[in-house]
Amino acid sequence: MTSLEEQFNHHLLDNSKRAVIVLKNVSKTYIIHHEKPTLVENLSQRLNCQHVEKYLALENINLKIFPGEKVGFYGPNGVGKSTLLKLIAGISYPTTGKISTKGRIVSLIDLAAGFHPDLTGEENILLNGLIVGMSKKEIMQKMTKIIAFADIGNFINVPLYTYSSGMKLRLGFSVAIHADPDILILDEVVTAGDESFRQKTELAMDKMFNNDKTVLIVSHWLEFLQKNCSRLIYLKR
């Protein structure tokens, strides 16, 4: 009788051509600029006072993720977990290596990203929906449900700059959930708003974890990952 590990490896081999996310030798380096100009340096227009430091956040990551997998990433702070998700989501780009994905990806890493402060909530739903890959027709068909789920009242008709951070998160989460993604990317468990809204988000997340959607999540809550994920990946150093 084969072990669970052997069964899992056999499953990966059988499904290698069906991978929805493939990372090949992916590395990410950040350039950090340190400047300590003095008055004398400013007066003499010396511009060579800059010290540049390279920070290697990820190095040679190779990874395949398959349809319907629920994959959890965990490890100490600063090892590149969130950076990895941002690369997969297309929010950031690798310094070297290649990333390929299949299907609609919706990221809940930065729920307020893609919003414009001068547009109303409803206008921002249209804008954000287009950004995450929805068609205008699809957005308009789901508009009523998106507004109802966000539950921000008459603020839906006023500019976004009047919103609290919690209201922006509610709107962003509602758009993301109704986008019906093939791949959902989470950085920590989403909890925004009052108890009623948190219950709605938990139900929505449970639905995502219990269907055929591919889910990637970073969390320090190991118990949550063990309960909801089919595979855990530990990032070290």
Enumerate the domain spans of the chain.
67-234
Q: Which pLDDT score, from 0 to 100, does residue 108 have?
A: 78
Between these two residues, 51 and 54, which has the higher pLDDT value?
54
In this prediction, residue 1 has a pLDDT band, given cuts at 50, 70 and 90, of very low
Give residue 138's pLDDT: 95
- Chain segment 90-147, per-residue pLDDT in tens: 888 999 999 999 988 988 776 666 789 999 999 999 998 998 888 999 999 999 999 9
Q: Is 237 in contact with 208 (CB distance < 8 Å)?
A: no
> Does CATH number 3.40.50.300 belong to domain 67-234?
yes
Res 136: pLDDT: 93
For the beta carbon of residue 230, count every other beta carbon within 10 angstroms.
13
Radius of gyration of the chain (CA): 21
Please give the share of the chain, as a percent, with pLDDT higher than 90.
39
Average pLDDT score, the chain: 83
Which pLDDT value is given to residue 119? Answer: 95
Longest dimension (CA), the chain: 78
Average pLDDT over residues 174-192: 81
* Confidence check: pLDDT of 199 > 90: no
Question: Which distant-in-sequence residues (6+ apart) come within 8 Å of 222 by Cβ?
Answer: 74
Strand order through the sheet with 50-65: 50-65, 21-35, 96-101
- Which tens digits make up the pLDDT trace of 140-181? 999 999 999 998 999 999 999 999 888 888 898 889 889 888
C-alpha torsion sign, points 119, 120, 126, 131: positive
User: Facing residues of 54 across strands?
Assistant: 31
| Interval 208-232 mean pLDDT | 87
| Token couple for 91 | 């929010």
- If one compares 189 and 171, the residue with the highest pLDDT of the two is 171
